[in-house]
Amino acid sequence: MKKFALSLFAFLFLVLVAAPSLTAQEKYTLQSGYPSGYAPGKYEMITEHNADTINETMGVISPNTVTIKTYTTIDVAEKNADGTQKVVKEITRIAATEDSPEVSRKYDSATGEASDNVITYQGMRVGLKITTLFDPDGNRIKSEGGEEHFKKLMADPKYPIKEIVEHLKAGITDESGQITDESMAKYFDELWAIKMPNDPIAVGETWKTEGFLEAPMQGGKFKATVENTLTEIKTENGKKIAVVTSKAACRSEEPKQYVATPVWTMTKVDLRSETIASVDIESGLFLKITTDADWDNEGVSVEGSKGRTHGKAKTTVTGTPK
């Protein structure tokens, strides 16, 4: 029987989506969209994710530590005469490790190093290249490249494991469950995004909204209450930097299939996160985003065995002009 556990390199994609409702004082205009607010040029986003998980099944306690580092380039064109703008994003490298009492694995797409065939599923995202045209307000007009990338994955003999394919699909489908260029572009954009308000905002002001915490391995998206606050405006190297804090939490007891191990059904998902983001007001570039998350999940197998997994994760994203 498979253990109740986050499968190899399972991790939370925490997506906070917020909308404005603001008031007085000195106000600052933050870029309303991501990444349409970027100044033309090339940028690199580096995402480092570290997770410590404890899995408990039938009295057996198993710790697991995962580190994943993802490199993404963002190429932003000059705005067209009509205000539209093309942005090209591509994942260029992924390096990952996993350590537990049962396994110790490594993967690095840059060197080709991989401990075993299973771990190569981290490489499924390498080469994902999405071209998006944004309107003047930062809304997505058209995206291309996502469907083509996924079709290549499905035909690649390196990724024969059903659970791997299902894991990827769980995070990139639209509301109807279909994989489209738009659904992949939306998912890809929002991995780092904190939606800024459309209207000017003052330091100390807070706005709440319904958003989502995305946990593909635990069953997909979960509605969350999100509270965002503009906590500080500071100056670094002559640039004005906005600091935004976002808190999200959700609890679900709706039974959902556990994607990592299909013989399990999730019976409780409890997720919490706090994010601090620093953004260059002029360019819209996210200079740094740090998310601390923790979770406590329960499930039951088809045989009636109960299990629990709980842990914490820290994700840091840094953005720099190239």
User: Mean pLDDT over all residues of the chain?
Assistant: 78
What is the count of structural domains for the chain?
A: 1
Domain assignment present for residue 4? The answer is no
Does the pLDDT at position 211 exceed 90? no
The residue type at 64? N
Burial class (CB in 10 A: 0-12, 13-18, 19+), 83: exposed
62 within a domain of the structure (yes/no): yes
Q: What are 50-96's pLDDT values in tens digits?
A: 999 898 887 778 898 989 999 999 898 998 999 899 999 999 999 99
In a domain, 1, yes or no: no
Alpha carbon distance 216, 243 (integer Å): 28
Q: What angle is formed at CA 108 by the lines to CA 105 and CA 114, rounded to 5 degrees?
A: 45
Contact 121, 161 (CB under 8 A): yes
> Which structural domain range is residue 32 located in?
27-321
Q: Which DSSP state fits 19? A: -
130 phi-psi bin (left φ>0, alpha ψ -120 to 50, beta other) = beta
Look at residue 317 and tell me whether its pLDDT is greater than 70. Answer: yes
Residue 32 predicted with pLDDT over 60: no
CATH number, domain at 171? 2.30.230
Q: Are 153 and 179 in contact (CB under 8 A)?
A: no
User: Per mean pLDDT, which range of 18-32, 215-229, 304-318 is the poorest?
Assistant: 18-32
User: How far is Cα 40 from Cα 149, in angstroms, rounded to an integer?
Assistant: 26
